Amino acid sequence: MTAPIRIAVVGLGKIARDQHLPAIAATSNFDLVATVSRQGDGVDGVPHFRDIEQLAASGTVVDAVALCTPPQVRRSIAQFAIAQGWHVFLEKPPGATLAEVIALRDAAAAAGVSLFASWHSRYADGVEPARDWLAGRTIHRATITWREDVRVWHPGQDWIWEPGGFGVFDPGINALSIATRILPHPFFVETAELDVPENRAAPIAARVAFRDTAGAPIAMDLDFRQEGPQSWDIVVETDAGTLTLAQGGGVLSIDGGTAPAADTDLHGEYPGLYRRFAAIVRAGVSDVDVSPLRLVGDIYLRARHHVVDPFHE
């Protein structure tokens, strides 16, 4: 496929309007041919539908869909899209459970369509240079600090507090998507503590101790209650110095100094994601890495749960 890929965006919440629609508009790889959302309006000049079944029945020619819905409802929509022969872009996290993502991967393979589990933070400017620098280094320890104000970044998004909504692991899985990309050894959960508001089903904060297969400890601190300056930082201490990825992977430094240059082809998270999606569609392959989601599942298996004060918007 060399012509623009005809894509529909399903779910027109904040992430779709802030990131997906501008990234699609800025590339020649895709043409936006439809939007789908049960709430609100679509995009001027583009056909809009209330559900994906209505889109399919309309006769609109679609090659691919980008699913920006909450994770709890994404599997059935993706399954329907795969059955139409459409390629599927899954916003992160790719599903509410690991099993359903694996089922979608297998269904896409059987149907001969591409499935993309998109980990947008891996496309931040500092991630690939960090991965290159850490390759072959001895890791002494790593610290992940992801603390943000949920009222700023997820206003009115009640789904995030429901089962399958991930709570603080909605941003926390971004950190894990970076860590699983840049660290040279696999790592696993040793202990975890989850703080769950008494009126919610998902955690508002978490502290997790990992260890990699070479023995290095990795500590993660997540909190949705951060006010003032926000923190999205990964610090890795090695035998050759300390690497710091700040601002969600966007700023890289080594021992506080100048970092290796970023690959300009990866500039911008969502433009990078859509370049990758176009590439796998045209190559006829899928890209479904479940390692960040698997770690979140393992955290829940190992965690102690603590009831904390109720959370109100």
pLDDT of residue 268: 74
Residue-wise pLDDT for 89-123, tens only, equals 999 999 999 999 999 999 999 999 999 999 999 99
pLDDT of residue 256: 85
Alpha carbons 234 and 143: distance in angstroms, whole number: 6
pLDDT of residue 183: 98
Residue type, 134: L
pLDDT of residue 264: 43
Strand order in the sheet with 30-36: 48-49, 30-36, 5-10, 64-67, 87-90, 115-117
Q: Which of 74, 92, 120, 122 is catalytic?
A: 92
pLDDT of residue 33: 98
Place of tokens 């459970």: 97
The answer to whether the CB of 242 falls within 8 A of the CB of 133 is no
pLDDT of residue 131: 97
Is 14 one of the catalytic residues? no
Residue type, 31: D
Residue 177's H or E segment, with its range, is: helix 169-182
pLDDT of residue 1: 56
Assign residue 195 a region: left if phi > 0, alpha if psi is -120 to 50, beta otherwise?
A: beta
Alpha carbons 164 and 76: distance in angstroms, whole number: 14
Q: Which residues of the chain have pLDDT under 50?
A: 264-266
Structural domains of the chain, ranges and CATH numbers in brackets:
5-117 (3.40.50.720), 121-265+296-308 (3.30.360.10)
Query: Whose CA is closest to 207, among 144, 126, 125?
Result: 144
pLDDT of residue 261: 57
Q: Write down the pTM of the prediction.
A: 0.93
The answer to whether the CB of 21 falls within 8 A of the CB of 32 is yes
Q: Can you read off the two tokens belonging to residue 284?
A: 């006829």
pLDDT of residue 303: 98
pLDDT of residue 266: 40
Question: 130: helix, coil or strand?
Answer: helix
Classify residue 225 by its DSSP letter.
B
